[in-house]
Amino acid sequence: SMKKRGIDRELLVSDICINIYSGALILARAFNKWGPTWEAVGAYNAGFAGTPKQHFRRMAYARKIYTVYRQLKHGEKHRQRAGWR
């Protein structure tokens, strides 16, 4: 947990390096638990609890992220076709 590492909300907001490190740590833990899956991505937001409610929350968050990912990916292809970099 972040508290065990001495990381509180104020530090997360005020120190961008700690913020990025913490996010990467959460994702790494999720990938260790679920593998490189969308459920692991959802755990970044909804946590690791094994309840059906948390599974639903993980997948709902993952769908939002997947939608944004697809939009960005589509936009990148569009820019490449237009000759933008």
Q: Note the pLDDT tens digit of each residue in 4-34.
A: 888 888 998 999 999 999 999 999 999 999 9
Helix (H, G, I), strand (E, B) or coil at 47: coil
pTM for this model (two decimals): 0.75
Tokens representing residue 24 in the block = 């990467």
6-20, 45-59, 65-79 — which one is most confidently predicted on average? 45-59
Residue of 83 and 5 predicted with greater confidence: 5
What confidence score (pLDDT) does residue 27 get?
95
What confidence score (pLDDT) does residue 61 get?
97
Domain that holds residue 39: 3-81
> What is the count of structural domains for the chain?
1
What confidence score (pLDDT) does residue 85 get?
53
Tokens representing residue 70 in the block = 């697809």
